[in-house]
Amino acid sequence: MTIKIVETTPFDDQKPGTSGLRKKVKIFQQLGYMENFVQSIFDALGGVEGVSLVVGGDGRFYNDVAIQTILKMASANGVARVIVGQHGFLSTPAASCVIRKGEHTGGIILSASHNPGGPDDDFGIKYNASNGGPAAEKITDAIYAMTREISEYRIMDAPDIDLGTLGETTLGAMTVEIVDPVADYLELMEDLFDFDALKSLFKGGFRLCFDAMHAVTGPYAKAIFEDVLGAPAGTVINAEPKPDFGRGHPDPNPVYAKQLFDVMFGPDAPNMGAASDGDGDRNIILGRNTYVAPSDSLAVLAANAQLIPAYNQGLRGVARSMPTSCALDRVAAAMKIPCFETPTGWKYFGNLLDAGRATLCGEESAGTGSDHLREKDGIWAVLMWLNILAETGSSVNDILTSHWHSYGRNYYSRHDYEALDAGTAQELIAALRAKVSELPGEQFSDETVELADDFSYSDPVDGSVASAQGIRVTFKSGARVVYRLSGTGTEGATLRVYIERFVAGPDGLDEDTQEALAPLIAIARDLAEIRERTGRAEPSVIS
């Protein structure tokens, strides 16, 4: 076994996005592409001599190849120890859990989250720091800088490691430990929730349908819901992880999780439905004939967190990303706790959680989590809901309706225009940016603009500033429209338009969301000249 030092030249497209480097598999398969990025991570950390790392991914196509490369490079760079999930599996929250529990230096997570997988689809890699969370921007900037000047990488000339056998082995001087991907995570969940109450819930005939979408949560969900909590076999559907997610698109939304929606909106629906995404950090929640909007789910969890053992002392603060609806703010105001508004991207919650200023946080993009980890956590969110249902004896629908009666309802929807020409999309945003200062006071149908800006965030913990994070337009009525470009796509550009209107109740709380928002949707389209600029009359996905 020898260490090879391989000469290389930079690729110019290795800038990490909202959540690490995400590209088509074909791009990652270019000679030296993966190696350059991994070496740049190691170099940006100032070298990795003697450190311990966690490595795992969502099992998508290329996961196994990438892990072998990372192991050989880690060994050649002097890493002392690497913990790998068996078969290369670790959900993103489980990776965060393993890093924190073992007090490791950091971890490399392989996933393109909710994007499809397969030889013609997507792959991704990101670095998480010792707190278990996505690397802060100063680290991802440093990684990018290294990718621009890399001239060589180090890799071990060695046979592949067997990722299927639990236990310790060595690769050169480095120890490789293959662990059960579920064990540490399950233990943490047992600490947070009242598992006895959950067992009784299922014993009493409560029915859950959890759609793992052939992604990484399958083994976690089967172990936790079926084996430990006693939910009947078949509670978890599409449970077997597959490299191409069974040709599906592991994005838990009404379009791609249609099977689950059909179950929950069909005859004899179970009490609750839920799904997670490719890497297990997202979640959606459904009741009978009801889809809980992620922003509402976040607000409901905050309002009821005290019912759960881990949060019975109350929440210190909450946080949401800017485009997430303001339903959470209403709960925070009632609880008299701070509510932070951050840019899109879980990494922005890290400092608030580390500093103990926020306990619970979440995003419109189906992510919720708390200070138990530094990633959003799909199965955790399902356990939160189950525990709340077990404590209150209510249904998902009752909890949601009574929430709206207490706090009012923020009707909310996101319209995505996918695969736009990147230049066209950037021009659309630039045009909005150019006119924000003139918008206040302008009238659009019944709405008058109160405030308009390009969101800029100043981190209250370390003072770092993130600017140009999305155009916000708030109307005098309290309605709001937000525009931003997705930072996670791999094809052209995706324009996201977030539309929100508040109704205090008690009347008008049961309208259809798209109908309740129709006038505002029309304003949002006009204001950004979406049709004129993109040629699209309708969004590609509405959620």
Nearer CB in complex with ligand G6P: 175/426: 426
Catalytic residue among 52, 96, 113, 295: 113
Contact between 93 and 276 under an 8 Å Cβ cutoff? The reply is: no
Among 36, 39, 113, 534, binds Zn ion (CB under 5 A): 113
Is residue 18 within 8 Å of residue 344, measured between CB atoms?
A: yes
* Contact indicator for 523, 481 with CB cutoff of 8 Å: yes
Site for ligand G6P in 359-378 (CB under 6 A): 363, 365, 367
Helix (H) or strand (E) segment spanning residue 343: none
Q: Are 369 and 376 in contact (CB under 8 A)?
A: yes
Q: Which is nearer to Zn ion, 20 or 273 (CB)?
A: 20
Q: Which of 487, 492, 505, 519 binds ligand G6P (CB under 6 A)?
A: 487
Cβ atoms of 533 and 424 closer than 8 Å: yes
Q: Are 485 and 491 in contact (CB under 8 A)?
A: no
Give the integer Cα–Cα distance in Å for 449 and 444. Answer: 8
Minimal CA–CA distance to 324: which of 288, 362, 286? 362
**Which tokens belong to 381?**
């969110």
Nearer to Zn ion, 346 or 483 (CB): 346
Minimum distance of ligand G6P from residue 114's CB (angstroms) = 7
Half-sphere exposure of 137 (CA within 13 A, CB side): 18
> Would strands 272-275 and 208-211 be described as parallel, antiparallel, or unpaired?
parallel
| Count of residues in the chain | 543
Among 325, 344, 370, 534, binds ligand G6P (CB under 6 A): 344
Angle at alpha carbon of residue 539, lines to 58 and 237, rounded to 5°: 35
Under rule CB under 5 A, which residues in 272-331 are in contact with Zn ion?
A: 277, 279, 281-282
User: 35 vs 122, which CB is nearer to Zn ion?
Assistant: 122
User: Binding to ligand G6P by residue 492, rule CB under 6 A?
Assistant: no
CA separation for the pair 244, 122 (Å, rounded): 10
If binding is defined by CB under 6 A, does position 18 make contact with ligand G6P? yes
Q: Is the peptide bond before 119 cis (omega within 30 degrees of 0)?
A: no
Query: In this structure, what is the dihedral angle of CA atoms 103, 106, 112, 113, given to the nearest 10 degrees?
Result: 30
Instruction: Give the interface segment with ligand G6P, choosing from 40-48, 136-144, 291-299, 482-490 (CB under 6 A).
Output: 482-490
Residue 251 binds to Zn ion (criterion: CB under 5 A)? no
Using CB under 6 A as the binding rule, whether residue 525 contacts ligand G6P is answered as no
Q: Smallest distance, Å, CB 117 to ligand G6P?
A: 15
Q: How many helices (H) and strands (E) does the chain have?
A: 17, 27
Count of residues near ligand G6P by CB under 6 A? 14
Q: What's the token pair of residue 226?
A: 């079926």
**279 interface partner picked from ligand G6P, Zn ion, none, CB below 5 to 8 A per type:** Zn ion
**By the rule CB under 6 A, 342 interacts with ligand G6P:** no
Are residues 106 and 128 in contact, defined by beta-carbon separation less than 8 angstroms? yes
Per-residue tokens: 131? 């707190």
Task: Check residue 113 for interaction with ligand G6P (CB under 6 A).
Answer: yes
Q: Which does 296 bind (CB under 5 to 8 A by kind): ligand G6P, Zn ion, none?
A: none
**Taking the complex as a whole, how short is the minimal distance between the CB of residue 485 and ligand G6P, in angstroms?**
8
CB 272 within 8 A of CB 120: no
* Nearer to Zn ion among residue 281 and residue 364 (C-beta): 281
Phi-psi region for residue 54, left (φ > 0), alpha (ψ -120 to 50) or beta? beta
Task: Draw the binding track, 389-418, toward ligand G6P (x: CB under 6 A; -: no contact).
Answer: ------------------------------
Contacted by 277, from Zn ion, ligand G6P, none: CB < 5 to 8 Å by type: Zn ion
Q: Give the residue at shortest CB distance from Zn ion.
A: 113
Residues in contact with Zn ion, total (CB under 5 A)?
5
Q: Does 324 bind ligand G6P (CB under 6 A)?
A: no
81 versus 114: smaller Cβ distance to Zn ion: 114
Identify which of residues 113 and 368 has a Cβ nearer to ligand G6P in the complex.
113
Asked about 200 being catalytic, the answer comes back as no
Q: Which residues are catalytic?
A: 113
The contact set with ligand G6P (CB under 6 A) reads 18-19, 113, 321, 344-346, 363, 365, 367, 486-488, 496
- Per CB under 5 A, residues contacting Zn ion are 113, 277, 279, 281-282
